[in-house]
Amino acid sequence: MLTVGIVGIGNMGSAITARLLERAWPVAVHDVDARRESDARALGAKVCGTPGECGAAAQVLLVCVVDAAQTEAVLFGPNGAAGTLRQGACVMLCPTIAPADTERFAAELAERGIDCIDAPMSGGPARARDGGMSLMVACADAVYERHRLLIETMSSKVFRVGQRLGDGARTKLVNNLLAGINLAGAAEAIALAERIGLDGGHTLDVIEQSSGQSWIGSDRMRRALAGDLAPRAHTSLLNKDTHLALEMARDAGFSPPLGAAAAASFARACAAGFDALDDASLVELLRRLG
């Protein structure tokens, strides 16, 4: 088994770390949060002081940060991993970022003799921990085969979306735009149900067994109705992702009206101070707006 470096051990990265360690993969980690690093060390991970140190320790580096700016800093900033990864090593890009950024990072890595796998992930930390998350993978077939064991250890739901780097990012943005639309719709429906005197929980029971059901709606609205807004997926993330999807759509000459409405809802929630809460908090915003 290759040594796996993971930079960014937040909700998803820490779940992947725990899964790999449980299956005896050697793992080196780095994060800006010392508490996260301490938790990983307790599980058996090697803790590295910088992304560069993590890259030097690994044959495969998973980048599990939030956005393109953080990804660029991890790879090419001061103490970045691209300068310490050996030729023939591989970087797996797991954040939700613009396809153009994925292509740019991959090209810069290729100039250094480093392979790249475009592999955004979806499903949340619980599914990442049990291997049930989705991975949308785009890379050369030879690169995929070299790392198949790792990829299939991480996920039992691997979707090979092609060999063109950036297609994983494109697929993830399409998925997340629909997730945003579904979540915004579910929050609106529950807020409406409560406003007209229905019990939100009973209404969600009906929706879950009827034509209005969606996985993200059920998952998030159950938490919201229980008053649980502790962040598993921050509202700021769907705000970022829906707006990235709109940018991608505009570049393709397409204007999705429902996607624009959902993106506006998440932007409004972030402006109202819900950015660091779980994205289930969208229903609370709608309750307040009336």
Give me the catalytic one of 46, 157, 172, 240.
Answer: 172
- Tally: H helices and E strands in the chain: 14, 9
Q: In terms of Cα–Cα distance, which of 89, 96, 98, 77 is closest to 116?
A: 89
Note whether 1 and 26 are within 8 A (CB).
yes
What phi and psi, each to the nearest 5 degrees, are found at residue 96?
A: -90, 105
Angle between helices 257-269 and 167-195 (to 10 degrees): 70
Active site residue 172: yes
Taken in order 145, 126, 9, 76, the sign of the CA dihedral is positive
DSSP three-state, residue 273: helix
CA-to-CA distance for 50 and 192, rounded, in angstroms? 48
DSSP letter assigned to residue 254 = -
| Helix locations, 11-98, DSSP H | 11-22, 34-43, 51-57, 68-76
* Residue 230: partners with Cβ closer than 8 Å, 6 or more residues away: 278
* Active-site amino acid positions: 172
